[in-house]
Each structure stands twice: as structure tokens, then as C-alpha cells.
Amino acid sequence: MLKALLISALTFVASQAFALNIAPYSAEALKGAQSAGKPVALHFHASWCGTCRAQERAFQGMKDAPELKDVTLLVVDYDVEKPLRKSLNVRSQSTVIVYKGDKQTAMLAGETEPASLQRALKSAL
């Protein structure tokens, strides 16, 4: 039993090393990724937005994509982060902005097609 539990835990940890990293937005996380020149994306999400929920499902489906293992997707609360929205000229929920370091490589609004969202994320690699 202990052996099976250990194998399960190791499998979970290993799978996380090769997955799209999805985390809540924080200014520190964004600044850290950009300062390090890493690929990072912002997903402006609202809980009441059907398009945002469709995007969330698409991103969850990419969690095991090995080609996205270096990408961090920060989920921004559209209703809370008004100053950030204004500074980035985000006019609607369901906006996704992708960066390689501090250079913007893609911006989509309202896109729910997984292939298009994945292409946008890959633009930062």
C-alpha cells in the first residue's frame, strides 16, 4: 500500500514538471517571469463569463502539453484588477496577453479555439 502511494505521488510530481503552469495572477509572479525572460501569459478571467470558462477548459486541456512546460499562465481576476486592465488597455474579459520576458508576442480576445490559444502561448517560446 505504501509503495503504491509513493508511486502515485512521484507520478504526480513528475507530471507537473512537464505541464503548462496555471497560477493565480500576482504582480510579483508577472514581474519575476518577465525579469527572467520567461514565457508568461495573462488570462483576464471573470467567473460570470461563459467565454472565459470555455478558455479555462481549453487551457486545462493543455496542462499535459510538453511543449508548453516552460509557459506560465497567470489567471487575472477581471473584476478586481482594474488598474492592470487599464495599464494594458484590456477592454474585455476573456483577453489573453502573451509575453516572452517583457515583450508582448500575442494578444487575443474572445478566442476559445484550443489550437489558436495554444499557438498564442507558443509564440513566447
CATH number of residue 95's parent domain:
3.40.30.10
Residue-number span of the structural domain to which 82 is assigned: 2-122
For residue 36, pLDDT over 60 is answered with yes
- pTM of the full structure: 0.85
Strands 72-77 and 95-100: unpaired
For residue 17, pLDDT over 80 is answered with no
The sheet with strand 39-45 has its strands ordered as 21-24, 72-77, 39-45, 95-100, 103-109
Give residue-wise pLDDT tens across range 38-48. Answer: 999 999 999 99
User: 104: closest CA among 82, 76, 123?
Assistant: 123
- Averaged pLDDT score across all residues of the chain: 89
Give residue-wise pLDDT tens across range 61-78. Answer: 999 999 999 999 999 999
| Residue 51 banded pLDDT, cuts 50, 70, 90 | very high
Tell me how many domains the chain contains: 1
- The C-alpha cell at 15 is 507530471
For residue 6, pLDDT over 80 is answered with no
For residue 92, pLDDT over 60 is answered with yes
Asked whether 111 and 80 are in contact (CB, 8 A), the reply is no
